[in-house]
Amino acid sequence: MGVDDPGRTGAPAPGDAGSTRASTERVALRVRRQASPSARPYWEAYVVEAPPGATVIALLLEIRRRPVTADGRPTTPVVWEMSCLEEVCGACTMLVNGRVRQACATLVAGLRRPIRLAPLTKFPVVRDLVVDRSVMFEQLKRIRAWVAIDGTAPRGPGPRFSEQLRQWGYELSKCMTCGACLEACPQYNPWTGFIGPTNLAWVDYFGLHPNARATQDERLDAVLAPGGVQTCANAQNCVRVCPKGVPLTEAIYRVKRAALVRGLRRWSES
């Protein structure tokens, strides 16, 4: 089905009050619904009035305002997550026509009709388009993704960074924990136990920080364990889908190199 044909049904839906405004478009979409983590998923169709420049979130808001299916049946409002509405928090990450995207930053124009919205597949579904991404935060604990402090008393200015390191750290720090890179990574699945691209990039990030570097060996030990850096098969899907342009493949390469040195050191000391 192409952009130019269906979904853009020109006529008002049966029972619709009022006429279609010239500036709006009737958009057909299908949403994969699931009432609870254990419930059976199913697809539900809608036809929604969308103004020019509408995003996918605007369609969902319209369904929330008027929860009626394409055939005029009242239904429950679709549930999804959102916060920033400007591609900063990652909460609205979902599959739009099978592609992982942020619904708040995805324009309706140009999307194949009917637009299909589904939850991410690599995380447990909580309800409809909401998934439980807490595994990502658990993995941050595994790699000690923090700077340990030994007190809160003021100690003057912190250590200085070179401009080059600061810039690299800034690129890595753009990650918003959206999960898109995990969704796209073929190695991130229940069988490999892979820690995922974003967490490897965080290992590189904390290895840069003069205060966090003291515990970098513990992070490298974590990524030398099963499911760690050796599980990456260099598919490079992660870097293609990352909405923040985090240089994942380069960061993973740097962590692979550091982990190799750490592994050799451990072997020579044993």
Residues of this chain that bind ligand FES (CB under 6 A): 82-85, 87-92, 102, 104
Site for ligand SF4 in 160-189 (CB under 6 A): 175-181
Q: Given the complex with ligand FES, which of 48 and 104 has the nearer CB atom?
A: 104
Q: Which of 102, 106, 198, 249 lies at the binding interface for ligand SF4 (CB under 6 A)?
A: 198
Rounded Cα gap, residues 131 and 126, in angstroms: 5
Residue 85 contacts which entry, ligand FES, ligand SF4, none (Cβ below 5-8 A, type-dependent):
ligand FES
Residue 244 contacts which entry, ligand SF4, ligand FES, none (Cβ below 5-8 A, type-dependent):
ligand SF4
Residue linked to tokens 């909405």: 243
Interface with ligand SF4: number of residues (CB under 6 A): 13
Q: Does 246 bind ligand SF4 (CB under 6 A)?
A: yes
Contact 41, 34 (CB under 8 A): yes
* Least distance to ligand SF4, CB of residue 205, Å: 11
Residue 83 contacts which entry, ligand SF4, ligand FES, none (Cβ below 5-8 A, type-dependent):
ligand FES
User: What is the x/- site pattern for ligand SF4, positions 79-98, by CB under 6 A?
Assistant: -----------x--------
CA atoms within 13 Å, Cβ hemisphere of 72: 6
Q: Given the complex with ligand SF4, which of 185 and 222 has the nearer CB atom?
A: 185
The interface region with ligand SF4, picked from 58-66, 140-148, 211-219, 238-246 by CB under 6 A, is 238-246
Q: Does 242 bind ligand SF4 (CB under 6 A)?
A: yes
CA torsion sign for 169, 170, 176, 178 is negative
Task: Render 82-117 in DSSP notation, one character per residue.
Answer: -SSSSSSS-TTEEEETTEEEEGGG-BSTTPPSSEEE
Closest among 67, 62, 66 to 50, alpha carbons compared: 62
3-class DSSP state of 30:
strand
Q: Given the complex with ligand FES, which of 81 and 221 has the nearer CB atom?
A: 81
Contact 120, 187 (CB under 8 A): no
The sheet that has 25-33: what strands, in order across it? 42-50, 25-33, 115-118, 93-96, 99-102
Binding site for ligand SF4 (CB under 6 A): 90, 175-181, 198, 242, 244, 246, 248
